[in-house]
Amino acid sequence: MPVRTRAAATAVSAALLTLAVAAPAAATTPAWSVTHETAHAEGARRITSGPSSPFQLTLTGTLTNTGAGCYAVWTQFQYDLVPGPPFKAAALCGPGTAEINVVRSIMPTTTGTIFICKGMESPVDCGPRKYV
């Protein structure tokens, strides 16, 4: 292989390797969004290496309410097809905003959802769930 061809092949390989390494980082931060009545929550998710499990899921975002009622953002995870209890991530009464920050240790078989419910105490009157 001539020297010029080898140099070009090396440059192309290096560029492709850079793209391959950078692509997963962008793919791990998709946006999520859920709504119920006058409440809306949106944000991003990130998966990193966990301290005690293979992965750690971080959900960050904002809950916004434009009405007078109380609303809460809940998450629920399933580990190996066994549903865990719902967990309240943020709550708000009346108009305004509240921060959402959820950190969970997960395994490759873990699935989770995020959703908004009316009220503060239990996830009963809820909007559609979004897989995270």
Q: For the domain that residue 116 is a member of, what is the CATH number?
A: 2.70.50.60
16 occurs within a structural domain:
no
Q: What percent of the chain has pLDDT over 70?
A: 77
Whether 99 and 90 have beta carbons less than 8 Å apart is answered as yes
Residue 16 clears pLDDT 50, i.e. is over it: no
How many domains are there within the chain? 1
| Domain limits for position 54 | 28-131
pLDDT (0 to 100) of residue 64: 98
8 occurs within a structural domain:
no
89 occurs within a structural domain:
yes
2 occurs within a structural domain:
no
90 occurs within a structural domain:
yes
Q: Which two structure tokens, joined as six digits, stand for 114?
A: 């995020």
**For the segment 29-87, what is each residue's pLDDT rounded down to a tens digit?**
669 999 999 999 999 999 998 777 789 999 999 999 999 999 999 999 999 889 999 99
Find where tokens 């962008």 sit.
26
